[in-house]
Amino acid sequence: MSGSPGRRRRLVAALVAGAAVLVVVVSSATRDVAPWPPHFDEVRAAWRPSDARLLDRHGTILTERRVDPHVRRLAWTPLTEISPAIVHAVLLSEDGRFREHGGADLRALAAAVRDALVHGRRRGASTITMQLAALLRPDLAPRGGGRSFSQKLRQIAAARVLEARWSKNEILEAYLNHASFRGELQGIGAAARGLFDKEPHGVGDDEALVLAALLRAPNAGPARVAQRASALAARSAIEPALAASRALEALTRAPVVARSSDLAPHLAARLITPGAAHDVSTTLDAGIQRLAGEALRDQLLALSGRNVRDAAALVVENATGDVLAWVGSSGSLSAAPHVDGVRARRQAGSTLKPFLYALAFEDRLLTPASHLDDSPLDVSTPNGVYRPENYDRVFRGFVTARVALASSLNVPAVRTVQQVGVDRFVERLAALGFEELRRPDHYGESVALGSADVTLAELVAAYRSLARGGVFAPLRVVPGEAVRDGQRVFSPAASFVVASILADRSSRSVTFGLESPLATPGWTAVKTGTSKDMRDNWCIGFSSEVTVGVWVGNFAGDPMWQVSGVDGAAPAWLEIVQALAHERPGRTPETPIGVVWHDGGWILAGTEPVDRAAPPAPRPRRIRAPSDTTIIALDPDIPERRQRVFFESDPADARLRWRLDGALLGGAGDLALWEPVRGRHRLELVDAAGAAVDAVRFEVR
């Protein structure tokens, strides 16, 4: 201390007097903050990372999502998981006598007063405890570049209370988690990962000095931070040049707080909201989620060159309805990766047929042994004539309902919905959880072939009801989420019979062959579907343990190139089902009361044919085209002599003849072309005796 003895005496007296006043004032301020602070455990519990985490059923992180755009914080880091090098460097930089003082370092305060009086310069004297008090209490934050004298006194008082109620380790742990290090990085977890891509327990001595140097001036330039890190290194056993180099290296690249995983982005977008808890638990299984995602990617890569970009998969536990995997898209392979294919509405294709036949069996309109006519069919609609065709455009004549369902034949399905009734079928679909169905008259008979828009989630839930004996209940993605009681939609007998058909490799061989991606080593019931113009592929099926659904297509709606359900979605479905069979082996379902074995398959008891040897009735001879009440409009841009109307019979039979308005025209063995005449006409199909076997009326305008 320089100056005359008199000046030194006056300065010492001033310091002593100041200390005495400070003690009195701080003691008074301490009484003002007596209700503060909260308990250490409360502060730790109130900590909210800037990223929320979606967890699987075992606590494994599925996805992390940013919920606080203003700051970057990770999970609270216990002191036991922080490198001793960080603790040493921080105490060296910020508070060398942290373990000794009671909240305020009087020696540091006296030195700060001396420097202010003698040298006219300000010097920081805040301890770690004082800094933490300011971090925990917004009213102690500096204003206009610094704290007022009153704030400083209250900060010291708050620090003394903290020291009285918290342990030193609790104070240090809270400080390292609340302190800002660089830019938006708050807390030692975000700082260590963002600057060094390490967890706090893995930070080395030189890196720890850089972190400590940032505490004094978090947003200082790299050169200034390097200089301070070098100065700290000189006070320890670290090479100053190494600390400076590490600082420059860390601060000249952009901080990156890498996410640990992004396995379930679509479900995270649904469940993680700004007000959500830090950890959001789900029913998912990370291993199954990863399996399903990889199966989709493998299949899309196998379909490269066939205009297929998108896919989705859903895996559900039958017993509980818990979702085990929710894969909304193909990720980087997709042109629209943020669209959730599990919830997107697409045309159902043939995936609704099992529910149609279950209804027909339950109402005893059909049995699996009933013969259905798979031959050309014209259906009149308000928009004209609708003519359903099978996928392979081959008609097979009379087939059993078992074969018609298992082989996904279209014409028999249309004939079945005509018996059941479109209104009744749509009503039953609504009971199965299909939420956005339109009025039945919007669909007509085409609803049997999947003209309704559905989601993968709805289909999987509906198929799960067949696996559960006809009881429908919603799916669940959050553990403990309230799920309403199940609702019986089909009888156990009807559900069992349909499931047995979907598991029958022989019955589906008419369309798919004995060996296909639908054939599994264990018992499974499965159905594919392909929408119009090959815009959607579906494969939905279940074992006794799980129900698995896969969709393949394009979110943009453009058609795939020659990709059917068995080619597109089924291989991924098979990969998932086979992998799950190792840890969740299925079993053949128990036979319920009310079914009997008949002619190679299960049917409902009481529906056995009386004459089992009776062959199906011969196919009726009829006019296939034009259909009854058709209105034919001549095109004014085409000369009338070049326009023709074709007459077609089913079956084509040279023994039959055409008769139009009473005049014979010729044989019905081949397609007949007739030059149209305006007016109303009656067309008859007559036999050799001249008797009409079928007749239609049509009009030419």
The per-residue pLDDT for range 215-233, each reduced to its tens digit, is: 988 989 999 999 999 999 9
Q: Which neighbouring-strand residues pair with 697?
A: 682
Query: Hey, what amino acid is at 456?
Result: L
Among 196, 221, 251, the domain-final residue is: 251
Mean pLDDT of 427-450: 90
CA separation for the pair 202, 670 (Å, rounded):
85
Does one domain contain both 394 and 519?
Answer: yes
What is residue 279's three-state secondary structure?
strand
The confidence score (pLDDT) of residue 108 equals 60
pLDDT at residue 160 greater than cutoff 50: yes
The confidence score (pLDDT) of residue 663 equals 87
Calculate the average pLDDT of the chain: 86
Query: Hey, what amino acid is at 620?
Result: P
pLDDT band for position 311 (cuts 50, 70, 90): very high
Does one domain contain both 597 and 650?
Answer: no
List phi, psi (to 5°) of 141. -65, 145
Does one domain contain both 501 and 600?
Answer: yes
Among 251, 278, 308, the domain-final residue is: 251
288, part of any domain: no
Does one domain contain both 163 and 229?
Answer: yes
131: its two tokens: 């800094």
> Are residues 427 and 438 in contact, defined by beta-carbon separation less than 8 angstroms?
no
The count of structural domains within the chain is 3
Mean pLDDT of 460-468: 97
The confidence score (pLDDT) of residue 701 equals 81
The confidence score (pLDDT) of residue 542 equals 97
CATH of the domain at 38: 1.10.3810.10
Does one domain contain both 153 and 212?
Answer: yes
The confidence score (pLDDT) of residue 20 equals 41
| Domain enclosing residue 663, as ranges | 622-700
> What is the torsional sign of CA 589, 591, 593, 598?
positive
Q: What is the DSSP letter of 594?
A: T
285, part of any domain: no
Among 187, 216, 251, the domain-final residue is: 251
Does one domain contain both 523 and 672?
Answer: no
Residue 541's CB is within 10 A of a number of other CB atoms, namely 28
The per-residue pLDDT for range 536-591, each reduced to its tens digit, is: 999 999 999 999 999 999 999 899 998 876 889 999 999 999 999 988 888 899 99
- Judge residue 359's burial from the number of C-beta atoms within 10 Å of its C-beta, 0-12 exposed, 13-18 middle, 19 or more buried: buried
Task: Give the residue carrying structure tokens 């097979």.
Answer: 396
CA separation for the pair 363, 184 (Å, rounded):
66
472: its two tokens: 């429908």
The residue ranking higher by pLDDT, 121 or 95, is 95
Q: Which neighbouring-strand residues pair with 46?
A: none
Strand 310-317 relative to strand 630-632: parallel, antiparallel, unpaired? unpaired
CA separation for the pair 211, 82 (Å, rounded):
12
Does one domain contain both 440 and 567?
Answer: yes
Helix axes 168-178, 128-136, angle to 10 degrees: 60
Does one domain contain both 211 and 108?
Answer: yes
The confidence score (pLDDT) of residue 609 equals 75
Does one domain contain both 690 and 552?
Answer: no
19 CB-near residues (< 8 Å, 6+ apart): 106, 109, 110
Does one domain contain both 432 and 533?
Answer: yes
pLDDT at residue 25 greater than cutoff 80: no
The per-residue pLDDT for range 314-339, each reduced to its tens digit, is: 999 999 999 999 999 988 888 889 99
CA separation for the pair 136, 123 (Å, rounded):
23
402, part of any domain: yes
168: its two tokens: 């030193």
In 318-402, beta strands by DSSP E: 323-327, 346-347, 371-374, 379-381, 384-386, 397-400
Does one domain contain both 564 and 666?
Answer: no
The confidence score (pLDDT) of residue 123 equals 46
CATH of the domain at 679: 2.60.40.10
